[in-house]
Amino acid sequence: MNSVKEKILSFVAQVKIPSFLKIRYVLRNFPFRKKIYFLLASMLFIVAVLGLLWKIDKSFAVEIPKDGGKLEEGIIGTPRFINPLLAISDADRDLVSLIYSGLLRADDKGSLMNDLAEKYEISEDGTLYTFTLKENLVWSDKKPLTSDDIIFTIQMAKNPALKSNQRASWEGVEVEKIDGRTISFSLKRPYAPFIENMTLGILPKHIWGEIQPEQMILTDFNINPVGSGPYQVKTIAKDSNGITQSYSLVPNKKFALGKPYIDNIILKFYPSEKKLIAAYENDEISAMGGISPQGAGEIKRGGKKLKPLLLPRVFTVFFNQNNAQIFTNKEVRQALDLATDKEAIVKNVLKNFGSVLNSPLPPGSIGAYALQEKSDQVQYEERLKQAVDLLEKNGWKINEQDNIREKKTKKNITRLEFNLATSNAPELAQTAELLKQMWEKLNIKVNVRIFEIGDLNQNVIRPRKYDALLFGIMMGRDPDPFAFWHSSQRNDPGLNIALYTNITADKLLEDARVLSDTDKRKEKYQAFRKQIEKDIPAIFLYSPEYIYLVPKYLMGLNTDTITIPSERFTQINQWYIETEKIWRIFAK
C-alpha cells in the first residue's frame, strides 16, 4: 500500500504546470484562427463547469427557513384583556394566543400536541389526568415556570370573584400539585372532551399572585402581559386619546416549542371591516383575518393569498314549537327543509367560503358527514314539488284571498305564517331574506325580524320568544352537542334553543360524552345525528369558513382547521418569510 502511495506522489511531483508567462507566450505565437478556437473552447469549458456546479448545487441544496422578516396584520376591534381568563373579544384572544402557552396546543391538523407539557396520562376510568411539565421552562421575563403557575391559573379560573368566562369549564375539577413539574386533575365523572381545557393559557403566579381577584380586571398586566408563548410584547402604540393602535411583538427565545422565525409581528387595530380593508389597500398591513365573503371579493390589491380555515360553526334555523304551534306538525318542518336551497345560500351569501350542512355536527367532527358529501341529492325544483305535495297531502290548502296556505279543522283555521328572528349581521340578514323567498314558494308567509345581537340574546333567545330563529353556534374541536340538544338544557341559561326533547337522543348524548374510545363515541353521535334528522327540530344550513388573507411571501402556514379564530396563530413558530439554501447533508 505504501509503495503505491509513494509512486502516486512521485508522479504528481514530476507533473509540471506551466507558468502564466509560458501560457501567454504560447498563445501569442498561435495563428489568429487558432486563438479564436482556443477562446471559444475555453468559454465553453467555463460555461460547462458553471453549469455542472449549478446542477450539483441544485441537486444537493435545499431551501430552509431563516430568521427575519416582518408581518403586519390588521384586526377588527381593540384589545382590553390580554389575559386567558378574561379575554372577551377576538382582539383579546388573538394576542393571548401569541403571548401565552397552555399545557397543550392545537396543531395544524385540528388535533392537540404538547406545549408546556412533556407528557400526560389518563386513567382507565377517564377521571384522572396527570401532566408532567417540560424541564427548565421559563417565562418571557426569565422567571421559572412551575406547577405552581398551573395550579394558580386553574384556581383563579374557578374563583367566582373573578367572573372568568372559563369558570364553567373547570367546575367540579380538582387540581393537585404532585411536585414542581407534575400536576393532576381529577373529575367527578368521565368527560371525554375535558382534554380541550388543557389549551388554556397559563398565568405567571409571580406577577398575578399578589393581586386580588376583584382587582385583576383593573391591572395594567392585562394590557402589557408577561407570558410563555411564542411572542412577547416589545412596544405598544396608542393615539392621543390613549386608545391602543398597535402591538409590536418579538420572538420569545425561551418558547417551549422553539424560537419563532419571524422577527417582528405587528398587530394593528381597526374599528370596522371597511377601515380594515382600506388599510390593506393602502399597504398599511399585509394580512387580515375574519373578513366577510363580500369584503374578500372587493379587495383589489395583488400579492395576496386567501387561506380559508375550517371552523366548527353550525348555522341553523331552530323551530320553537312552544311559541308557534304550526311547527308541531312534522310535515311543515319537513316541507320547509325540502324547500331550502342550501347550495344557493353557500354560493350567494358565503361566496362558496363554506360548506352545506346536514346535521347538528360540524364538518370534520366525530360522527359528522364526510366533508365532500352534498345534502341535495335531488334537484331543488324536484324537492320543491315534494314539499308542495307533502303540504297538500296533509290538508294545507291555499286560501285564494291572500294566497297563504291554511288548514281547517272543526274548531279553527291555522294559517301557515310565522316570524323568523335573526341578528343584524349582514350574512344572517341576507340569509334570512333568501329563506323567506324560498319558503314563500310554498305559499307560506314569513316575517323576517332583525335584531341587534345584544337585544337578540337578552330579549329574544333567553326568554325563548321566537317562532323560528336563524342563529349560529360554535362547537369545540371535539364537539359535545349535549349543551345544545339535551332536554335538560331547554330553558335559559341552557343552549337547547330548539327546545328539543327526545329520550333516545338524551341517552345517546349522555353515553357519548363519557366514552374515551373514539370509535364508540362516533357510533353514538351517528345514531344521535340520525335521530335528529328523523325528528327535524331544526334546519341545518351551512358551516362557514374563516377567511384569512396573508401575503404570498408568508410560508409555513399549514393550518387547515381551527376552533376559534385566534387558533390561526397556534403554529406561528413554524411560519417564516426569509429563507436560505444549504446542502441537504447539513439540513436538519
Crossing angle of helices 518-535/503-512, nearest 10°? 160
Whole-angstrom distance, CA of residue 538 vs CA of residue 530: 13
Tens-level pLDDT at each residue, the chain (588 residues): 445 445 545 654 555 555 656 666 655 666 767 667 667 777 887 877 777 766 766 666 678 899 999 999 999 999 999 999 999 999 999 999 999 999 999 998 878 999 999 999 999 999 999 999 999 999 999 999 999 999 999 999 999 999 998 998 999 999 999 999 999 999 999 998 999 999 999 999 999 999 999 999 999 999 999 999 999 999 999 999 999 999 999 999 999 999 999 999 999 999 999 999 999 999 999 999 989 999 998 898 888 899 999 888 999 999 999 999 999 999 999 999 999 999 999 999 999 999 999 999 988 777 776 544 444 446 899 999 999 999 999 999 999 899 999 998 878 899 999 999 999 999 999 999 999 999 999 999 999 999 999 999 999 999 999 999 999 998 888 778 999 999 999 998 889 999 999 999 999 999 999 988 888 999 999 999 999 999 999 999 999 999 999 999 999 999 998 999 999 999 999 999 999 877 665 555
> How many C-beta atoms surround the C-beta of residue 370 within 10 A?
7
Cell of 159: 374563583
State in Å, rounded, how far the first CA of the chain is from the last one: 39
For 18, which DSSP code? P
Q: Give the 3-state secondary structure of 345-375.
A: HHHHCCCCCEEECCCCCCCCCCCCCCCCCCC
Whole-angstrom distance, CA of residue 376 vs CA of residue 379: 7
For 456, which DSSP code? I
Whole-angstrom distance, CA of residue 210 vs CA of residue 98: 25
Indicate the burial class of 243 (C-beta count within 10 angstroms; 0-12, 13-18, 19 or more): exposed
Q: Tally DSSP H helices, then E strands, for the chain.
A: 17, 23
Decide: 531 and 504 in contact? Cβ < 8 Å.
yes
Which is nearest to 549 in space by CA: 276, 247, 263, 269? 276
> How many C-beta atoms surround the C-beta of residue 328 within 10 A?
11
In this prediction the pTM is 0.83
> How many C-beta atoms surround the C-beta of residue 382 within 10 A?
12
Report the C-alpha dihedral over residues 317, 318, 323, 324, rounded to 10 degrees.
Answer: 50
Sequence-ordered list of residues with C-beta below 8 angstroms from that of 502, at least 6 positions apart, any chain: 487, 531, 535
